């Protein structure tokens, strides 16, 4: 990990086409301006983590799927089992 100290209106370059400029420094955070090509995705880390959590929540555990399939298979009525009247 690289740690840098920058002041207001100072920038740093990543590669040849990404520039990050410090716009404002305050006790509650730092405002950054990021100049990068449109095809480069820029996402706050907490949003990326939330996206990963959502994807994991939407992907069922294979053991859960098998257990549900087994329950449904065993609880479905058989064709010969019709209700008595």
User: What would the two tokens of residue 38 be?
Assistant: 């449109």
Cα–Cα distance measured from residue 78 to residue 73, given in angstroms and rounded to the nearest whole number: 10
Alpha-helical segments (H) within the chain: 45-58, 62-75
CA dihedral (55, 60, 61, 63) in degrees, to 10, reads -170
**At residue 79, does pLDDT exceed 70?**
no
> What one-character DSSP code corresponds to residue 22?
E
**Integer distance in angstroms from the first to the last C-alpha of the chain?**
75
pLDDT one-digit tens code per residue, 7-21:
999 999 999 999 999
pLDDT one-digit tens code per residue, 32-46:
999 999 999 888 888
pLDDT one-digit tens code per residue, 43-73:
888 887 777 877 777 777 788 778 878 888 8
Whole-prediction pTM: 0.57
């Amino acid at each position: 990990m690289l740690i840098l100290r920058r002041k207001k209106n100072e920038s740093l370059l990543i590669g040849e086409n990404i520039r990050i400029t410090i716009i404002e420094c305050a006790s509650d955070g730092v405002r950054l301006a990021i100049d990068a090509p449109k095809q480069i995705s820029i996402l706050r880390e907490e949003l990326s983590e939330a996206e990963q959590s959502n994807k994991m929540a939407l992907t069922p555990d294979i053991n859960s799927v098998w257990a549900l399939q087994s329950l449904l298979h065993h609880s479905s009525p058989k064709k010969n089992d019709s209700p008595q009247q």
